[in-house]
């Protein structure tokens, strides 16, 4: 098998992967616990690769907007770390949970401190802290995504946010439980509104691959300013590798070998530090909430290109 590692060869690799995915459609199902997401066609597939200079390539539905959901947790983590630094880690851990993304079980044993910033409990803590510091966590996130993607049309999807709020008992339970340990600053209804708006951001593979670029550029934003120190950018990549796909993080590291973050809208972002960022989208999910075709496509990408963090 040819090992291709120069960026100019990304396009043929993407075309080959799209053909393979089309021949073997995945078995996954769209998320249905957020009713507004259930209607997406599981056969849709798009993939984009962005180089550190902002050049972006794609195949399939790579310009089709989809619900970013938990992918946004990478950006709120980075935005909060940029403001409060290591004090965040007193409120949320950085260990894989080995449990589903919306699980409650560890929180009581571990005194209301979530295992990591990517399970729902941990993401709620990060959004709460970002909201305290900015007064508008979801707005801060949107402004960042617009700037980094160069797409001023990115927006929250009010219908998705309302749909999730109407079925948000589990996130409400997580937030109230952590509040009882003093680990949430804002009133729970305020936090939940911010969190559901955050998760409802609609963006394409091209947008999200570009917006993730600061993690390939060692903390540098698209405009050349620094968001995170080199060391903090490495730490965010490390938490993505170990926790970004929840109780499938070991399998994802084994198959893909890159820092990655999934969302129940069917998207996954991934980082090859120093080289490129990726975003793949296909709405059919496995039982752990990760896109079946998305993981398969990233698996093929790292196999065909030889790119890896290992």
The span from the CA of 199 to the CA of 109, in Å, is 27
109 annotated active-site = no
181 annotated active-site = no
Catalytic: which of 74, 201, 236, 264?
264
Q: Are 227 and 221 in contact (CB under 8 A)?
A: yes
Please report how close the Cβ of residue 1 comes to ligand DON at its closest, in angstroms.
31
**239 assigned ligand-binding residue:** no
Q: Which residues contact 159 (CB under 8 A, 6 or more apart)?
A: 36
| 120 in contact with ligand DON (CB under 6 A) | yes
264 annotated active-site = yes
195 annotated active-site = yes
From 97, 163, 171, 302, residue interacting with ligand DON (rule: CB under 6 A): 171
Nearer to ligand DON, 46 or 52 (CB): 46
**57 assigned ligand-binding residue:** no
Catalytic: which of 56, 149, 163, 246?
246
From 28, 30, 70, 131, residue interacting with ligand DON (rule: CB under 6 A): 70
| 202 in contact with ligand DON (CB under 6 A) | no
Report the site for ligand DON in 74-103 (rule: CB under 6 A): 101-102
Q: Is the dihedral of CA 57, 61, 65, 66 positive or negative?
A: negative
Phi-psi region of 257 (alpha: psi -120 to 50; beta: other; left: phi over 0): left
Q: Is the dihedral of CA 92, 268, 147, 277 positive or negative?
A: positive
For the CA atoms of 192, 282, 237, 92, the dihedral, rounded to the nearest 10 degrees, stands at 20
Q: Which stretch binds ligand DON (CB under 6 A): 132-140, 143-151, 234-242, 262-270?
A: 262-270
Please report how close the Cβ of residue 171 comes to ligand DON at its closest, in angstroms.
5
From 69, 163, 183, 277, residue interacting with ligand DON (rule: CB under 6 A): 69
**151 assigned ligand-binding residue:** no
The span from the CA of 302 to the CA of 310, in Å, is 11
The span from the CA of 13 to the CA of 48, in Å, is 11
Catalytic: which of 56, 59, 67, 73?
73
The span from the CA of 192 to the CA of 171, in Å, is 8
| 178 in contact with ligand DON (CB under 6 A) | no
**20 assigned ligand-binding residue:** no
Q: Are 268 and 260 in contact (CB under 8 A)?
A: yes
188 annotated active-site = no
**What are the backbone dihedrals phi and psi of residue 134, each rounded to the nearest 5 degrees, phi first?**
-120, -20
Catalytic residues, which ones? 70, 73, 195, 246, 264
Query: Which positions make up the binding site for substrate?
Result: 70, 120, 164, 171, 195, 246, 264
Residues that bind ligand DON (CB under 6 A): 69-70, 101-102, 120, 164, 171, 199, 262-264, 289
């Amino acid at each position: 098998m040819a090992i291709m590692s120069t960026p100019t060869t990304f396009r043929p690799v993407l075309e080959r992967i799209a053909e393979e995915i089309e021949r073997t459609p995945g078995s996954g199902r769209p998320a249905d616990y957020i009713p507004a997401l259930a209607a997406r066609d599981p056969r849709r597939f798009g993939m984009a690769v962005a180089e550190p200079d902002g050049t972006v390539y794609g195949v399939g539905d790579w310009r089709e907007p989809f619900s970013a959901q938990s992918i946004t947790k990478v950006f709120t983590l980075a935005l909060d770390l940029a403001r409060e630094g290591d004090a965040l880690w007193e409120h949320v851990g950085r260990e894989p949970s080995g449990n589903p993304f919306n699980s409650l079980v560890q929180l009581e044993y571990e005194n209301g401190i979530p295992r990591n910033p990517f399970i729902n409990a941990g993401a709620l803590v990060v959004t709460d802290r970002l909201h305290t510091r900015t007064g508008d966590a979801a707005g801060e996130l949107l402004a960042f995504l617009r700037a980094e993607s160069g797409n001023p049309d990115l927006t929250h999807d009010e219908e998705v946010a309302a749909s999730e709020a109407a079925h948000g008992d589990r996130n409400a339970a997580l937030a109230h439980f952590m509040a009882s340990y003093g680990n949430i600053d804002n009133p729970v209804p305020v936090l939940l509104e911010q969190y559901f708006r955050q998760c409802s951001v609609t963006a394409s593979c091209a947008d999200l691959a570009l917006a993730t670029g600061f993690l390939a550029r060692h903390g540098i934003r698209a405009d050349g300013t620094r968001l995170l120190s080199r060391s903090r950018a490495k730490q965010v990549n490390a938490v993505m590798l170990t926790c970004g796909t929840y109780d499938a993080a070991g399998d994802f590291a084994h198959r893909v070998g890159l820092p990655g973050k999934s969302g129940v809208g069917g998207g996954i972002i991934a980082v090859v530090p120093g080289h490129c960022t990726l975003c793949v989208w296909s709405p059919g999910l496995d039982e752990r909430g990760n896109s079946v075709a998305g993981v398969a496509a990233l698996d093929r990408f790292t196999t065909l290109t030889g790119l890896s963090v290992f």
